[in-house]
Amino acid sequence: MPNLKDLKNRIESVKSTRKITKAMQMVAAAKLRRAQDAAEMSRPYTERFNAVMAGLAAAAGGEGAPKLLSGTGSDQVHLLVVMTAERGLCGGFNGNIAKLARSHAAELKAQGKTVKVLTVGKKGRDAIRRDLEDSFVGHVDLSEVKRVGYDNAQDIARDVLNRFDAGEFDVATIFYAKFQNVVTQIPTAQQIIPFSVPEGTEADEGTLYDYEPSEEAILADLLPRGVATAIFSALLENGASEQGARMSAMDNATRNAGEMIDKLTIEFNRSRQAVITNELIEIISGAEAL
């Protein structure tokens, strides 16, 4: 049985930990509101952009279509852009995205495909390095970025597009967590090259548009922008998901610390009572001996 001093030190240690987790929970809650608003405000634009792109792609499909729409004619080499957080202590947020990416990579390799991995966020890099280290082709470090903006998405998109133009891959897929609520963040895979209509997106067929100069020319300009838009949307969803997951994880940690303090306090009181009882027995025994 631990002595009273050890129990007291342990109680103080857990109390200090509870203060830290409570503070982190409050910080995450404050950041969540801003990140959630940014993610939700970007969704209407992204959905409308994808709807317009879907309509253009349907009209311009076939010969003469831009390479970002028609593809290279092969799907042998796949680039996986795994987007996670720069920091941990956010529950299963990073692990779930990495797990989805590893599963997708395993399926592709089982089909005889070549897999390349570009990571955004060091936690994703650390999580899948053991299994896919030979497939790594690059990493984007956002640890010094205080607030992710469209410029960051453009830099990532420019890197991906340059690799595509250089013939380094045929298909690109991004992996991120779509924010639903504080408790639920859904790991998501979305193909961005060649352009693929996201699930649930419907082309606007109720209105006829005349495009000038042509659908192909407009797509040639919009498709690179669409890659940056998809990446920016994923970064915003990840930002909200990370703070929601951290808030939930720190809330659980705070409550677990409180339960541990209660148990240790009971054990401390029992041990102190046992010590007092032994001392009283020794005093009474000594008095009777006299």
Q: What's the gap between Cα 263 and its chain centre?
A: 35
Contact 235, 153 (CB under 8 A): yes
Q: List the one residue out of 71, 83, 77 whose CA is nearest residue 124.
A: 83
Task: Confirm whether 195 is a catalytic residue.
Answer: no
State the Cα–Cα distance between residues 107 and 109, nearest whole angstrom.
6
Q: Are strands 171-179 and 185-193 parallel, antiparallel or unpaired?
A: antiparallel
Name the active-site residue from 39, 90, 101, 228. 90
Cα-flanking dihedrals φ and ψ of residue 3, to 5°?
Answer: -75, 170
CA distance from start to end of the chain: 33
Q: Structure tokens of 192?
A: 């961005």
Neighbours of 213 (CB within 10 A): 7
Following DSSP, what letter does each residue of 224-271 receive, concatenated? HHHHHHHHHHHHHHHHHHHHHHHHHHHHHHHHHHHHHHHHHHHHHHHH
Burial of 279: CB neighbours in 10 Å, binned 0-12, 13-18, 19+:
exposed
Cα-flanking dihedrals φ and ψ of residue 271, to 5°?
Answer: -65, -40
Please work out, in degrees rounded to the nearest 5, the angle formed at the alpha carbon of residue 187 by the alpha carbons of 167 and 193.
20
Active-site residues, by number, are 90
